[in-house]
Amino acid sequence: MDSRQFIQRDENCWEIQPKGAMRVPVIIYANNQLLEDMDQKVYEQITNVATLPGIVKAAYAMPDAHWGYGFPIGGVAAFDPDQDGVVSAGGVGFDISCGVRTLYTGLNMAELQPHKQALADALYRAIPAGVGSRGKIHLNHKTMHGMLTGGAQWAIEQGFGEEQDLERIEEHGCMAGAESRHVSPRARERQKDEMGTLGSGNHYLEVQRVAEIFNPMVAGIFGLRVNDVVISLHCGSRGLGHQIGSEFLKAMVMASAQHQIVLPDRELACAPLASPLGKQYLGAMRAAINCALANRQIITHLTRQAVATIFPGIHLGLLYDVSHNTCKLEQHTINGQKKLLFVHRKGATRAFGPNHPDLPAAFKDVGQPVLIGGSMGTSSYILCGTKGSEQRAFSSACHGAGRAMSRSKATKQWQGKALIEQLAIQGIIIRCPSMRGVAEEAPLAYKDVSAVVDIADQAGLARKVARLEPVICIKG
């Protein structure tokens, strides 16, 4: 994008003032380089978001923003139910509640090193990954309802984990307000054999080394030291979320005229929060959030079992679990007034600052862990929420690097087998059922996550705490 289209507010903050049908300004957090590298579609999409009814304060784009569906990926927007606000299926995305969970292992690199290959094999055997993989759990009508309303709490009741895991998961592992009756038979059918599966594309499970600490005080509270080994997993609500996303997107497109909503782009389809369709979507979307939380909980259990075969007796506790495709009802202060708003984060991570009431006691003083996934072979980051982030972007930060190159270009440029060999030389073990899948996820097909994280830090959206490097990557 041409930066001359913006008013530069400071080094990392760019504004588009309301024009045409825009109800609020647009704010993009980026440095000049990241902004110039963004597709012009980001400009179109985020200005379209600013036209939606009931939007509050501004439509925001994170430093990793890129061309999405209706909303840009990396888009944040809050809607006021008292001002005819809307909920948008495209503003949440197809992979509802896709997110990242990081587990401690209590191991350091020296302890892992002799067992790397064995651990890679054990994890690859234990965790169903890739197209056509099925989980070992089969849900019937009753257990499906339990999962959709209970999330990770349900999974733990079924024996997949420990009670203390819950305090380290957003929403305490269970999204309130889920209504399974609004989840269609098709969405259930797509999910009944998919619990505890990783999926494909950019979803992964990684064994990582803490390579660098930026903030020793916060890292101490997060329990991270250089050379510690952690395990992170990135996945979402699987077929159920995809089906709900597809069905409600279509329903919202078809109902927009009835709701008298003028859509600059059909993909921006939305429904008034007060409408029956809006309420049905919220109920189904929250059930999909529970599905994602249960899925990550079951994968955690499978991971614990696999790790125990190599390192008997070690305990894998949770650092935290974040979701980056959601719409959540949150209290925010607007012009000195506390308001309950529906905050959409499409490819953006919640980043509550210190003393937020929803944080576990351990993080009250430093803010929530913000888990930023890299791509295969590149660094991931752990940040913490800031006090100022609420005023900057409704307590939101980036979620990852974002693609720099399309899948088809990537497959023309790289071969899976050669990439795996190159990464092996760097000490990174890849396990993936598809060589073409590896090529499509080549590290250089993604933007530089370090640049994105640096700007999130400098813009005050979240503060850098630690950098993680991959050691083993199980790709879907």
Active-site residue set: 399
Residue among 6, 14, 69, 204 that touches other proteins (CB under 8 A): 69
Min separation Cβ 38 and other proteins, Å: 9
* Beta carbon nearer to other proteins, 73 or 359: 73
- 253 lies in the binding site for other proteins (CB under 8 A): yes
Residue among 6, 43, 79, 94 that touches other proteins (CB under 8 A): 94
- 239 lies in the binding site for other proteins (CB under 8 A): yes
Identify the CA nearest to 349 among candidates 117, 142, 98, 139: 98
- Reported as type and span, the H/E element at residue 145 is helix 141-157
Q: Pairing relation of β-strands 349-350 and 396-397?
A: antiparallel
Min separation Cβ 259 and other proteins, Å: 17
Q: Pairing relation of β-strands 59-69 and 228-235?
A: unpaired
- 254 lies in the binding site for other proteins (CB under 8 A): yes
- 66 lies in the binding site for other proteins (CB under 8 A): yes
Q: List the interface residues with other proteins, window 338-377 (CB under 8 A).
A: none
- 435 lies in the binding site for other proteins (CB under 8 A): yes
Q: List the interface residues with other proteins, window 277-296 (CB under 8 A).
A: none
Min separation Cβ 128 and other proteins, Å: 11
Helices 116-126 & 276-310 angle (0-180, nearest 10): 140
Min separation Cβ 411 and other proteins, Å: 8
Identify the CA nearest to 342 among candidates 326, 355, 358, 353: 326
How many whole angstroms from its chain centre is CA 317?
20
CB-count exposure of residue 230 (10 Å: 0-12, 13-18, 19+): buried
Q: Which two tokens stand for residue 278?
A: 């809006």
Q: How far is CA 80 from CA 53, 274, 280, in A?
A: 9, 11, 18
* Beta carbon nearer to other proteins, 70 or 369: 70
- 390 lies in the binding site for other proteins (CB under 8 A): no
- With contact defined as beta carbons under 8 Å apart, do 179 and 287 qualify? yes
Min separation Cβ 433 and other proteins, Å: 5
Residue ranges in contact with other proteins by CB under 8 A: 39, 41, 66-70, 73, 93-95, 130-133, 186, 189-190, 199-201, 239, 242-243, 245-246, 249-250, 253-254, 265-267, 269, 402-403, 406-409, 411, 433-437, 439-440
